[in-house]
Amino acid sequence: MYRIRDLREDRDLSQKEVAAYLHISQQCYSKIETGRMDITGERLLQLAKLYDVTTDYILGITSE
């Protein structure tokens, strides 16, 4: 599972705020966050930029 929920909550952002940043609906973002929908490469890069982390961190490949 992706680490995007923890990252979002650590920054006190709502799903709606992150979804707006990604230009998608809150429902679509919720599905990504819960693993019911795969994240696209473009959105993965956008989230890495938003949270100032690597894509590998978001994907759980590294812990840094």
Q: Give pTM, 2 decimals.
A: 0.91
Average pLDDT, the chain: 95
- The count of residues in the chain is 64
Taken in order 55, 51, 37, 19, is the CA torsion positive or negative?
Answer: negative
* Domain formed by 4-59, architecture: Orthogonal Bundle (1.10)
pLDDT of res. 1: 64
Domain boundaries, the chain: 4-59
- Report the candidate in 27, 31, 36, 29 with the shortest Cα–Cα distance to residue 50: 29
pLDDT tens string 36-50: 999 999 999 999 999
The 8 Å CB, 24+ separation contacts for 11-17 are: 11/51
